Amino acid sequence: MQTIEELEMKAWLNRAFYANQKAKALEKLAEQCKERAQGLTVNWEQNDKGKSDGAVNGTENALLRLTELNEKAHTLRVECTELVVEILKKIETLHDDDLESVLICKYINFYTLEKTAELLNYHPNTVKKKIKKAILKLCTEMS
């Protein structure tokens, strides 16, 4: 069973992962908005032949929304990068290359246990144990 401190440390370490996921979701949404905006037609003439200028407004609005989404995604990417640097600095306080490499795979590169185990030539259960040991060590340092 995990302590509250361990759960809090895992949540703290996972911040970059969730920021990255959110940025990816916004980038995907921006991509969809771009496709929709490209599908809109523009009426560059001012209401000639009884046509509505709604297409102009629709296209402009779609492009404005697209710009806003791209800016939000970029801001999230910057925040994610800052989180990664902060988390990496914390991981480096372990002063244990083995534990650091496991946490870097998990919380910086966002690898699964299986991918981490494969990369570091460990059994997945060994990776779990090393993550737990590293989390406990970080919690001890925080106290």
Output the pLDDT for position 36: 77
Identify residue 113 by its one-letter amino acid code: L
* Spatial contact of 117 and 124, defined as CB atoms under 8 Å apart: yes
* pLDDT greater than 90 at residue 12: yes
The pLDDT tens digits of the residues spanning 64-110 come to 888 888 899 899 999 999 999 999 999 999 999 999 999 999 999 99
- b/e 81-100 (16+ beta carbons within 10 angstroms → b): eebbeebeebbeebebeebb
| pTM of the predicted model as reported, rounded to 2 decimal places | 0.78
Output the pLDDT for position 116: 97
The pLDDT tens digits of the residues spanning 40-51 come to 655 455 544 555
Output the pLDDT for position 55: 47
Output the pLDDT for position 106: 96
Model confidence band, residue 56 (pLDDT cutoffs 50, 70, 90): low
Output the pLDDT for position 44: 52
Output the pLDDT for position 42: 52
Most confident listed range (15-24, 42-51, 65-74, 125-134): 125-134
* Spatial contact of 135 and 5, defined as CB atoms under 8 Å apart: no
